[in-house]
Chains A and B, each alone.
Chain A
Amino acid sequence: MNAGSWRAAPVLVLIACALGTASPMPVAGQSKKSAKKVSASAPVAPAAPPKIQVTVDSVFDRRTTSDFPGPELAITFKLEGEDAAAVLSARANVARAVDDTGKDLADASGKRTMQGEGWQQAREKEPPTPRVILGSPTRKARSLTSVEGVLETYLPTRDPAATVRIDRVMSRKDKPFASAALASQRVRIQVLSKAGLEKEKARAEAAKKAEAAKKKKKSPKKSDSLGMEVLAEGMADALVGVFERLFSNVGENDLILKVDDPGKKIFSFDLAGPDGAAIQSYGTTELEGYRIVRVFEPIPENASLHVCLKTARSFGEVPFSLSNVKLP
């Protein structure tokens, strides 16, 4: 590393800390030693495939001469069988779909238009109804001779470690949660108050100003250090931008979470009232290291946050193969 990049390094570290990537959030009541112990999670054997049958719920064929939105075939699947009711979320991936004229429609199936990468949540005690978007069949086609793929399911009830419950979440603002279960997945979560978010924003702006001042002092620049400085300045700008977007995005009742999840273990967040009943949310927005859990009404002080984690046992794959799917 040359002298120029050493000078830039502290700024990068500062930005990285603010982003929550370089410096781990301390978990209250947990020593560094114990954190190290639980972080080494032992490999867990995946559970047996869930007992689920995949059938077609409905088919929607949008045929159009327009380019936007363009033509497509959407298939909504129905989940049945012993484990269907336990599926909290599911998504279908179609590898092959052929109409009766021989046209393969699966080429376009990689595109998922649903939020959350195609994961469909269970609603009102009914299993989820995952949907796939395929290419448009030929007009003269009457059916799909073959639809083959894999259904991915999330069944948190199959693994107690898949759900971490944090009680009285609203009274824990601006303090990291102490949770061995989260730490074992190298997940750190902190609820931010509006004031806490302001502080984080102020910190990011201070870093940006410091970077600008530093840049002003130095002249002329050496060409080899220029790249690092531009990068640092860009990162500082980006971070301030994240906060600006956060502020413009956060609704009055929303829950703001600062999340560090390097292993991408978090599946979803749910809120529940003191009686365990779900608090209705209209989605979670992901913004860099932050999540905004959208809720319609103020969250009660004694509400709990359920962090759903991806564990080997809570996931199951169900291959499916359907034939003679009638086209509408």
Chain B
Amino acid sequence: MSSPGRPLLCVSILLLAIPLFAAEDVKVAAGAVEDQRSSDGRMSGLSIEIKLAGGALADVKALRARLKSAKDDVGTVLYKAAKGDKPKDFEEFSPDRRPGPRINLSSPSRDASTVEASGEVDLFIPSRDPNTKQRFEKFLGRLDKPISSSALKSAKVEITPLSAAAYKARQQQNKPTKEQITAEAKKQGATDAEIKQAIALVEAFSALGGEEPSENSVLIETKDLDGKIISIDLVAADGSELKAPSRGTSGGGEDKLVKIDLSEKPPPDAALVVTLRTAKSVVSVPLNFKEVALP
């Protein structure tokens, strides 16, 4: 016979367990499949959309897929991790995002009918950890100096709000030279015409991104060794969001320059809200695609 207190205990345990179950309730399935095949090898590859379902999906704000293996049904290996490969950065996610996130693989054989892939999907669920959001008050009063924060330090993240002059200097400094582009392109076997095109393209992109910062721009440099930054937002002193109709990021890998153009001049007491990935905020769910039919 059960004691009178037992049902209450059960309910309490159940309530405690709900957030955990809900987070792991996310199911991963294969969505749209695209096999691009080119006679010159350009733009070739297979991509499979990751379709997520489950009650906790609304809480997922970003994700990344980590593949272990993939092959087609005639044995062609479609994914091989290279030594020293870093996991991909997280990409923003919302349940109504179209097209959905994808995994990218090598081209399967024309003779193949199906493919299989396995790995994990890391889901960033900020509601699981209040420490994911770090707020830095009145940051505009401390330009060109890295923000001092133990949370950033332990995440190996450095964030520096920049003045317009420092931003422009960094832009110039980061712009690849013609020699660097040529060397990189040659490494990849590009022809002289392709190298010329690449240089022109870089010039064009530089011109696009080179729009002068205005008084509405907030300029930031980030150094993020492990890809911990999920997003950077701006809020007024009262916590209300400062709308940013456009934002641009230049640079790649660990160092980036971010230009956030607000709809109006930021108030001097504006705060920077940095969303960071923490161990507690990430849940991994298995990705197991079997017999995915090739188009």
The chain A residues found within 8 Å of chain B, CB to CB, are 56, 58-66, 71, 124, 139-142, 326-328
- Interface status of B37 (Cβ within 8 A of chain A): yes
Asked if A62 and B110 sit within 8 Å, CB to CB, the answer is no
Contact of A58 among B33, B40, B110, B293 (CB under 8 A): B40
Asked if A58 and B39 sit within 8 Å, CB to CB, the answer is yes
Asked if A63 and B36 sit within 8 Å, CB to CB, the answer is yes
Asked if A64 and B33 sit within 8 Å, CB to CB, the answer is yes
Asked if A64 and B40 sit within 8 Å, CB to CB, the answer is no
Asked if B295 and A61 sit within 8 Å, CB to CB, the answer is no
Asked if A328 and B37 sit within 8 Å, CB to CB, the answer is yes
- Give Cα A139–Cα B37 distance, bound, in whole angstroms: 11
Asked if B39 and A328 sit within 8 Å, CB to CB, the answer is yes
Contact of B34 among A58, A66, A139 (CB under 8 A): A66
Which 3 residue pairs are nearest across A and B when measured between Cβ atoms?
A: A328-B37, A63-B35, A63-B295
- Give Cα A140–Cα B44 distance, bound, in whole angstroms: 18
Asked if B111 and A65 sit within 8 Å, CB to CB, the answer is no
B43 to chain A, nearest CB (A): 7
When distances are taken between beta carbons in the complex, the residues of chain A under 8 Å from B32 are: 64-66
Within 8 A of A (CB), among B1-37: 32-37
Asked if B295 and A59 sit within 8 Å, CB to CB, the answer is no
When distances are taken between beta carbons in the complex, the residues of chain B under 8 Å from A62 are: 34-37
Asked if A64 and B39 sit within 8 Å, CB to CB, the answer is no
- Interface status of B38 (Cβ within 8 A of chain A): yes
- Give Cα A60–Cα B41 distance, bound, in whole angstroms: 9
Asked if B34 and A326 sit within 8 Å, CB to CB, the answer is no
20 contacts between A and B (CB under 8 A): A58-B39, A58-B40, A59-B38, A60-B37, A60-B43, A62-B34, A62-B36, A63-B34, A63-B35, A64-B34, A65-B33, A65-B293, A66-B32, A139-B295, A140-B110, A141-B110, A327-B37, A328-B37, A328-B38, A328-B44
A139-B38 in contact given A64-B33, A66-B32, A327-B110 (Cβ < 8 Å): no
- Interface status of B294 (Cβ within 8 A of chain A): yes
- 11 new A-B contacts, CB < 8 A, other than A63-B295, A124-B193, A139-B295, are A58-B40, A59-B38, A60-B37, A62-B34, A63-B36, A64-B33, A64-B295, A65-B34, A65-B295, A71-B295, A328-B39
Asked if B111 and A140 sit within 8 Å, CB to CB, the answer is yes
When distances are taken between beta carbons in the complex, the residues of chain B under 8 Å from A328 are: 37-39, 44
When distances are taken between beta carbons in the complex, the residues of chain B under 8 Å from A58 are: 38-40
A64-B37 in contact given A71-B295, A139-B110, A142-B110 (Cβ < 8 Å): no
A283 to chain B, nearest CB (A): 16
When distances are taken between beta carbons in the complex, the residues of chain A under 8 Å from B193 are: 124
Contact mask B127-156 → A, CB, 8 Å, 1/0?
Answer: 000000000000000000000000000000
B180 to chain A, nearest CB (A): 24
A63-B294 in contact given A139-B110, A140-B110, A327-B110 (Cβ < 8 Å): yes
Contact of B35 among A59, A64, A326, A327 (CB under 8 A): A64
When distances are taken between beta carbons in the complex, the residues of chain B under 8 Å from A64 are: 32-35, 295
- Give Cα A58–Cα B37 distance, bound, in whole angstroms: 11
When distances are taken between beta carbons in the complex, the residues of chain B under 8 Å from A59 are: 38-39
B244 to chain A, nearest CB (A): 25
- Give Cα A130–Cα B44 distance, bound, in whole angstroms: 21
When distances are taken between beta carbons in the complex, the residues of chain A under 8 Å from B36 are: 60-63
- Give Cα A61–Cα B294 distance, bound, in whole angstroms: 13
The closest CB in chain B to the CB of A69 belongs to B34
- Give Cα A139–Cα B165 distance, bound, in whole angstroms: 56
- Give Cα A124–Cα B193 distance, bound, in whole angstroms: 10
